[in-house]
Amino acid sequence: MEDVLAGVLATAVASGTIIALAALGEVLAERTGVLNLGLEGIMAMGAVSAIIAVNVFSTTAFGGLVTSAIVGLLMGAMFAVATVIFKANQVLCGLALTFFGTGLAGRLGAPYAGQPAQARFQRVPIPLLSDLPILGRGLFNHNVLVYFAFLLLPIIVTFLLYRTRHGLSVRAVGENPSAADASGIGVAGLRFLYTSVGAGLSAMAGAYLTLAFIPSWAEGVTGGRGWIAIALVIFAGWRPIPIVLGALLFGAVTSLGFVAQLRDWGIPAAFLSMMPYLSTLLLMLIPFMTKRRGERRLGTAPDALGLPYFREEG
Amino acid sequence: MKAEPSSPRTFPWRLQRQIGVTPWAGLLARGVAVLLALIISGVVIELGGLPAIDLAKRAIESTLGSAYGLQQAGLLATSLILTGLSVAVCMRMRIWNIGAEGQLFMGAWAATAIGIHIEGPVIPMFLAMFLAAAMAGALWILVPALVRAYWNVNEIITTLLLNFVAILFVNHFSMGPWRDRVVGVLTATYRIPYELPSLVGTLHIGILIAILIAIGLYFVFNNTRWGYEVTTIGRNRRAAEFTGMPVTRNILIVMLLSGAIAGLAGAIIVTGTAHRLSGFISNEYGYSGIIVAALANASPIATIIAGFLLAVLLNAGIVLSTQGLSVNAVIAINGLILLFAAIGEVAASYRLVRDVEEGPGESPIGGPQWGTPVESAAGAVDTGQGGEVET
């Protein structure tokens, strides 16, 4: 029983990491008012570039991670050029990026499908804490990316958004770009920066998939996790800490599915595999269900989310 | 206010953004987008060590050079036109149905359920299968439609998440309870004993159904009160509400109609080309439908043309998969097309105007397209219907 619990917890944390990384990246972009629906494609490209770096160019796992982060930054910059510089429709460009990324990843990765990753992220047990019963194996015996996604990154994002002047500017750009512009904040610059950084984090989530979680590459390896991350941002009300908790919750659902499959609880595998998608859908609806009439919810979308900013002229 | 003669600006022309895009500028922008995407893909393919020009030649020959190739492209176009229409119907109202893929699978599932379990005369059977497919497609979008209509929940993500559920659902049946144990295939159901009749060669009459639906939608959008309401709500929801149009009800109707069309596409695929339900019946038609609808600017008639265009591309990817292209490569190229089309849409809204003294006569004309944010659409209601949405 202890083993099962520890295993469920460990898998929950591990699969939640993918969502946490991507969703924390997305929240940075969305806080500046840019809705990046291309996460799925960026994550797929991150996953494939990491495996190519490691298996073809024999880099270390860290090298693979950096490669995928650079690929993600470039794709984010590509999206930002289209939506921030040219001010094209963000929904269309996001979908375009998803098609572009998943298609290209499928084509580039075809020769490496099924190959195990030659370099992987190793577990780094935290001294003392990892000796705890159940929790030790469940929470404190993971690779560095997991700790980064659940501890370091949420702290950085929270501090940046809520405790710095820069973060205030970021939020101002997302809520009211013309007021931000009038007060001298560079709207386009901030949007460009955080769209790219967010995309880089999503790509790292892809690298985590192929270099730690699975660890190999196959077509469709991302399995909609980019979209789940976007849904999680809505569920979490665009706040970093709820995002991390939501990612854990999502991980727990996924993990329970694995356990049910292994222990054969009599539910067909296909229906268990649906659970992450269906529970994400349900989670997404909760903030709307609990909304009372006339009451302003905590955590609403940035007012300018999805809208290109044109400076009023003459 | 007043331009001094000694003004530092010597060049009298400047770019000015207009609200809305004239049909010709929009068409030109999308044409350039497709060309640009193809050229860039060609350069990348060439850099990747494949002969791009040779591949392009073969792609054209294999599709347009023979009757068989044309028929194959026609089959792909059937699905792409239908999913394109499904997305376009929603797009008219600025709603995004990203779930056509899932609705298509559910339609195919429903048609198969009837096809392999019930025996009957051909025509009633086809009617039953098509009706069931349309209902299954509509049912699959029901929850996203309800929460969009009443709670304003983002329909992009809800419709998309259900795609994964639908494919898992279909896989469960095609690899489990309905698997053909006689032939011993692992991933497909029993053969459906009803086949859509052929039109020419391998091309079945599904293409006519798709074109008829497109024409029907054209008339509905241009000649009925309801079509006018949908277009108006799409242009300016708030103004439509003020004039008393039933916005919530129309969101529901439009989304269910969209799901039904995608479901029908699934029924046509399993009765026309695939004959057995499996997880492989769709070449991402539902997703490509988004690109078809975007290229067609949500116009039903233009959807036919855009559907054929993407069908030729997709066919090239399938035929040339041994030479290094693949369906995935085509999806990547489609992504580029969509990206450039979205940029082109904005570029087309700029006009070169002469810097003279500003007067009221210079105010931009034309209503907004689906690409412009709703907020900028104020005052567009009185421009009438069908004026600038291409048909």
The residue among B385 and A38 whose pLDDT is bigger is: A38
Q: What is the average per-residue pLDDT within B52-65? A: 86
Nearest chain B residue to A111, by CA: B324
Does B338 sit within 8 Å of A92, measured CB to CB? Answer: yes
Does A274 sit within 8 Å of B156, measured CB to CB? Answer: no
Chain B contact probe: residue of A52, A86, A92, A254 with most B CBs at under 10 A: A92
In B, residues 177-236, which contact A (CB 8 Å cutoff)?
none
Tell me the three state secondary structure of residue A116. Answer: strand
Report pLDDT for A293.
53
By residue range, what is the domain housing residue A27? 2-121+135-289
% chain A with pLDDT above 70: 96
**pLDDT at residue B85 is higher than 90:** yes
**pLDDT at residue B180 is higher than 60:** yes
Chain A contact probe: residue of B50, B160, B284, B358 with most A CBs at under 10 A: B160
The residue among A269 and B303 whose pLDDT is bigger is: B303
In B, residues 294-323, which contact A (CB 8 Å cutoff)?
294
CA distance linking residue B143 with residue B106, whole number of Å: 14
Angle at B267 between CA B261 and CA B273, to 5 degrees: 125
Q: For residue B175, which amino acid is it?
A: M
CA distance linking residue A216 with residue A50, whole number of Å: 10
When the pLDDT of each residue in chain A is averaged and rounded to a whole number, the result is 91
Report pLDDT for B2.
44
Report pLDDT for B9.
55
Report pLDDT for B361.
45
% chain B with pLDDT above 70: 87
CA distance linking residue B85 with residue B211, whole number of Å: 10
% chain A with pLDDT above 90: 73
Bridge pairing between strands B350-354 and B13-17: antiparallel
Of B17, B172, B294, the CB nearest to A310: B17
Does B147 sit within 8 Å of A99, measured CB to CB? Answer: no
Asked if residue A148 belongs to a domain, the reply is yes
The residue among A265 and A159 whose pLDDT is bigger is: A159
Report pLDDT for A313.
56
Asked if residue A309 belongs to a domain, the reply is no
**pLDDT at residue B369 is higher than 60:** no
For B265-280, write each residue's pLDDT tens digit.
Answer: 999 999 999 999 999 9
Confidence of residue A297 (pLDDT cuts 50, 70, 90): low
Of the ranges A99-103, A161-165, B150-154, which one carries the lowest mean pLDDT score?
Answer: B150-154
Q: For residue B131, which amino acid is it?
A: L
**Residue B270 contacts residue B263 (beta carbons within 8 Å):** no
**pLDDT at residue A15 is higher than 60:** yes
Residue B272, chain A, CB below 8 Å: the answer is no
Q: What is the average per-residue pLDDT within B342-370? A: 64
Of the ranges A161-165, A181-185, A290-294, which one carries the lowest mean pLDDT score?
Answer: A290-294
Of A41, A78, A224, the CB nearest to B164: A224
**pLDDT at residue A21 is higher than 90:** yes
**pLDDT at residue B359 is higher than 50:** no
For B296-312, write each residue's pLDDT tens digit.
Answer: 999 999 999 999 999 99
The residue among B361 and B296 whose pLDDT is bigger is: B296
Of A37, A103, A308, the CB nearest to B328: A103
**Residue A99 contacts residue B287 (beta carbons within 8 Å):** yes
Residue B350, chain A, CB below 8 Å: the answer is no
What is the enclosing helix (H) or strand (E) of B354? Answer: strand B350-354
Q: Cα dihedral angle (A51, A53, A59, A61), rounded to 10 degrees?
A: -40
Number of H helices, E strands in chain B: 14, 4
Of the ranges A305-309, B224-228, B280-284, B317-321, which one carries the lowest mean pLDDT score?
Answer: B317-321
Residue B54, chain A, CB below 8 Å: the answer is no
Shortest distance between the Cα of B90 and any Cα of chain A, in A, equals 14
Asked if residue A312 belongs to a domain, the reply is no
Residue B147, chain A, CB below 8 Å: the answer is yes
Asked if residue A305 belongs to a domain, the reply is no
Residue B158, chain A, CB below 8 Å: the answer is yes
For A129-139, write each residue's pLDDT tens digit.
Answer: 888 887 888 88
Report pLDDT for B355.
66
Confidence of residue B55 (pLDDT cuts 50, 70, 90): confident
When the pLDDT of each residue in chain B is averaged and rounded to a whole number, the result is 86
Q: Cα dihedral angle (A210, A215, A216, A221), rounded to 10 degrees?
A: -60
Report pLDDT for A266.
78
Q: B283: which 2 tokens? A: 């070449």
CB contacts < 8 A (A, B): 146
Residue B330, chain A, CB below 8 Å: the answer is yes
For B93-109, write each residue's pLDDT tens digit.
Answer: 999 999 999 999 999 99
For B16-44, write each residue's pLDDT tens digit.
Answer: 777 777 778 888 989 999 999 999 999 98
Asked if residue A157 belongs to a domain, the reply is yes
Of B171, B334, B342, the CB nearest to A88: B342
Report pLDDT for B364.
45
Report pLDDT for B160.
96
The residue among B77 and B241 whose pLDDT is bigger is: B77
Residue B339, chain A, CB below 8 Å: the answer is yes
Of B147, B158, B331, the CB nearest to A102: B331
Confidence of residue B342 (pLDDT cuts 50, 70, 90): very high
Nearest chain A residue to B293, by CA: A92
Asked if residue A313 belongs to a domain, the reply is no
**Residue B189 contacts residue B180 (beta carbons within 8 Å):** yes
Residue B373, chain A, CB below 8 Å: the answer is yes
Residue B348, chain A, CB below 8 Å: the answer is no
Q: What letter does residue A309 receive in the DSSP assignment? A: P
Nearest chain B residue to A102, by CA: B332
For A165-180, write each residue's pLDDT tens digit.
Answer: 999 999 999 999 999 9
Does B332 sit within 8 Å of A103, measured CB to CB? Answer: yes
Of the ranges A129-133, A155-159, A191-195, A246-250, which one carries the lowest mean pLDDT score?
Answer: A129-133
Q: What is the average per-residue pLDDT within B155-176? A: 95
β-partners of residue A116 are A216
Asked if residue A29 belongs to a domain, the reply is yes
CA distance linking residue B89 with residue A310, whole number of Å: 29
Q: What is the average per-residue pLDDT within A212-234? A: 93
Nearest chain B residue to A285, by CA: B153
**pLDDT at residue B385 is higher than 70:** no
For B126-145, write each residue's pLDDT tens digit.
Answer: 999 999 999 999 999 999 99
All domains in chain B, ordered by first residue: 51-323 (1.10.3470)
Residues in chain A with CB shorter than 8 Å from the CB of B291 are 99
Residues in chain B with CB shorter than 8 Å from the CB of A86 are 343, 346-347
Report pLDDT for B363.
43
Asked if residue A74 belongs to a domain, the reply is yes
Shortest distance between the Cα of A82 and any Cα of chain B, in A, equals 6
CA distance linking residue A16 with residue A149, whole number of Å: 9
Does B161 sit within 8 Å of A277, measured CB to CB? Answer: yes
Shortest distance between the Cα of A270 and any Cα of chain B, in A, equals 5
**pLDDT at residue A120 is higher than 50:** yes
Shortest distance between the Cα of A293 and any Cα of chain B, in A, equals 11
Residue B241, chain A, CB below 8 Å: the answer is no
Residues in chain B with CB shorter than 8 Å from the CB of A105 are 328
Q: What is the average per-residue pLDDT within A92-110? A: 95
Domains: count for chain A? 1
Give me the CATH number covering residue A158.
Answer: 1.10.3470.10
